[in-house]
């Protein structure tokens, strides 16, 4: 069986999630959307996958390689824009006539998590968050070594440290190598991605803390998506670049922006990071 996956390109409603990577590579509970789809297809018996990517296809190819990691034959085809399933089908049929290549049995636009057709992922930040919560019970698969459900609805990953006095309220997902400090309140509805670091006395409720994100002492993150110093309130869609690193910041290197920055504008671009962004 052969399946063609169409990676969604830019979606204005969740644009800030794609600052550092294409939408299909944004971390979701330790993996990305494309990885979940490839795992799903393997479980369905698919052996050959063609991935059509219009947003940074080199990054997509870098992640999936030739698909051998999943036991797949996989090819990434770059496109200049996001094809509709009908366009992709017509193009495949045309190629099949010319080259004799087998057309795909199925074509999927991966704008949702596998099996969660009713939870649109990319319509808004709110929808993104709700889809992640809906995905929680499906994410604890057997390949996640060391992950355990320490109490109903509370999942903790390998090498994570939760100090005494931290309160974990279901549903709650704590990734790998996460530190949760004393007197913190995590959840309900909290997702701490891998290598997040949460300092003493912080509250994280109905929110996602991205990978390698530092949450400072006594801070409160509510109804938000925090990725490095970027704080998105998924309810109001207000977006803030937090000015002080001791409140919220990235523990990793600042990801490169996808858009090229002309050298003459570089100093102004740096200053822009100091100014809270206008609502999008």
Partner 1 sequence: MNISQLPELSAANSTLFRDEVQASMPPALNILEIDLAQTVFVDSCGLGALFSLYKATGNGSGGIKLRLLNPTPQILQLFELTQMGQFFEISER
- Contact residues: partner 1, CB under 8 A: 218-222, 224, 231, 233, 236, 238-240, 242-244, 246-248, 274-279
Instruction: State the Rg of the chain over Cα.
Output: 20
Q: Is 62 left (phi over 0), alpha (psi -120 to 50) or beta?
A: alpha
Q: Which is nearer to partner 1, 168 or 204 (CB)?
A: 204
Q: Which is nearer to partner 1, 119 or 238 (CB)?
A: 238
- At its nearest, how many Å lie between partner 1 and the CB of residue 242? 7
- At its nearest, how many Å lie between partner 1 and the CB of residue 234? 12
185 CB-near residues (< 8 Å, 6+ apart): 166, 167, 169, 202, 203, 204, 205
Joined together, the tokens standing for residue 80 give 């200049």
- At its nearest, how many Å lie between partner 1 and the CB of residue 123? 20
Q: Is 34 exposed, middle or buried (0-12, 13-18, 19+ CB in 10 A)?
A: buried
- At its nearest, how many Å lie between partner 1 and the CB of residue 14? 18
Q: Which is nearer to partner 1, 148 or 220 (CB)?
A: 220
Residue 11's nearest CA partner among 91, 110, 108 is 110
């Amino acid at each position: 069986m052969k399946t063609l996956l169409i990676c969604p390109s830019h979606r204005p409603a969740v644009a800030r999630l794609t600052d550092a990577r294409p939408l299909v590579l944004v971390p979701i509970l330790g993996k990305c959307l494309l990885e979940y789809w490839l795992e799903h297809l393997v479980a369905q018996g698919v052996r050959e996958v063609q991935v059509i990517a219009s947003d940074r296809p080199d990054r997509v190819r870098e992640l999936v390689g030739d698909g051998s990691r999943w036991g797949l034959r996989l090819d990434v085809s770059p496109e200049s824009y996001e094809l509709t399933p009908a366009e992709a089908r017509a193009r495949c049929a045309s190629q099949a006539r010319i080259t004799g290549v087998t057309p795909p049995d199925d074509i999927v636009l991966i704008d949702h998590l596998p099996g969660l057709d009713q939870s649109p992922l990319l319509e808004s930040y709110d929808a993104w968050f709700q889809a992640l919560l809906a995905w929680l019970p499906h994410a604890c698969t057997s390949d996640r070594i060391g992950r355990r459900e320490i109490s109903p609805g509370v999942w903790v990953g390998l090498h994570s440290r939760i100090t005494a006095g931290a309160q974990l309220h279901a549903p709650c997902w704590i990734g790998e190598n996460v530190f949760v400090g004393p007197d913190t309140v995590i959840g309900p509805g909290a997702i701490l991605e891998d290598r997040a670091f949460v300092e003493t006395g912080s509250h994280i409720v109905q929110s996602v803390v991205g990978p390698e994100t530092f949450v400072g002492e006594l801070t409160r993150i509510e109804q938000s998506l925090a990725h490095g110093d970027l704080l998105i309130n998924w309810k109001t869609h207000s977006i803030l670049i937090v000015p002080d690193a001791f409140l919220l910041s990235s523990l990793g290197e600042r990801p490169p922006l996808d858009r090229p920055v002309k050298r003459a504008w570089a100093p102004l671009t740096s200053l822009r990071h100091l100014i809270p962004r206008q609502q999008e």
